[in-house]
Amino acid sequence: MEPAGLLLRKLRQVRRNEEMPEDYEYETIKTVVGTKLVPIETTTIPQALKTTTLSAIEKGQKQLQNVNNVINEVSKKMKIPAWATMLIILMIVIIIICIIYLFFRKMCGKLFSKSDKLSGLKGSVDLKAMPLLGNSFKEKVQPDVEQLTTNMEENDDAESKKSDIVNLGKFEFSLDYDFQKQELTVGVFQAQELPAMDMGGTSDPYVKVYIMPDKKKKFETKVHRKTLNPVFNETFVFKNLAYGDISGKTLVFAIYDFDRFSRHDQIGEVHVPLGQVDLGKVIQEWRDIQPPAGDKENENKLGDICFSLRYVPTAGKLTVVILEAKNLKKMDVGGLSDPYVKLSLYKNGKRIQKKKTSIKSNTLNPYFNESFTFIKLNTYDIRKVTLLVTVVDYDRIGTSDPIGKVVLGCSAQGSELRHWSDMLASPRRPIAMWHTLKDPEDGKPS
pLDDT beyond 60 at 134: no
Strand-pair partners of 39: 30
pTM for the model stands at: 0.46
Mean pLDDT of 209-222: 85
CA nearest to 365, candidates 408, 313, 330: 330
In this prediction, residue 57 carries a pLDDT of 72
pLDDT band of 445, cuts 50, 70, 90: low
Domain hosting 210: range is 170-298
Q: How confident is the model at residue 22 (pLDDT cuts 50, 70, 90)?
A: very low
Closest CA to 373 of 446, 434, 316: 316
Examine the domain organization and report whether 428 and 307 are in the same domain: yes
CATH assignment at residue 311: 2.60.40.150
- Same domain as 404, residue 379: yes
In this structure, are 314 and 225 located in the same domain?
Answer: no
Q: In this predicted model, which residue has the larger pLDDT, 135 or 233? A: 233
Bridge partners of 387, per DSSP, are 345, 408
Q: Report the domain count for the chain.
A: 2
Task: Tell me which DSSP letter residue 381 carries.
Answer: G
Last residue of a domain, one of 298, 320, 355: 298
323 and 258 in a common domain: no
Over residues 359-383, the pLDDT tens digits come to: 999 999 999 999 999 999 999 999 9
Q: In the chain, what are the helix, strand and coil shares in percent, each to the nearest 5?
A: 30, 30, 35
Percent residues over pLDDT 70 in the chain: 70
Question: CA 387 to CA 318: how far, in whole Å?
Answer: 10
Same domain, residue pair 180 and 251: yes
Please check whether residues 314 and 433 belong to one and the same domain.
yes
pLDDT at 298: 52
In the three-class reduction of DSSP (H, G, I as helix; E, B as strand; rest coil), residue 366 is classed as: coil
Q: What is the pLDDT of residue 51?
A: 64
Domain boundary among 269, 298, 327: 298
Assess whether pLDDT exceeds 50 at residue 278.
yes
Looking at 131-145, 193-207, 235-249, 313-327, which range is the least confident one? 131-145
- What residues contact residue 84 under an 8 Å CB cut-off, 6+ apart? 75
Average pLDDT over all residues of the chain: 78
Q: Are 172 and 189 in contact (CB under 8 A)?
A: yes
pLDDT value at 223 more than 80: yes
Q: How confident is the model at residue 208 (pLDDT cuts 50, 70, 90)?
A: very high
| Per-residue pLDDT at 16 | 57
Which of 279, 298, 317 is the last residue in one of the domains? 298
Q: Does residue 366 sit in the same domain as residue 377?
A: yes
Asked if the peptide bond before residue 213 counts as cis, ω within 30 degrees of 0, the response is yes
Q: Is 195 left (phi over 0), alpha (psi -120 to 50) or beta?
A: beta
Contact between 444 and 435 (Cβ < 8 Å): no
Instruction: Kindly state the DSSP code that residue 242 receives in the 8-state scheme.
Output: -
Q: How many C-alpha atoms does 389 have within 13 Å on its Cβ side?
A: 26
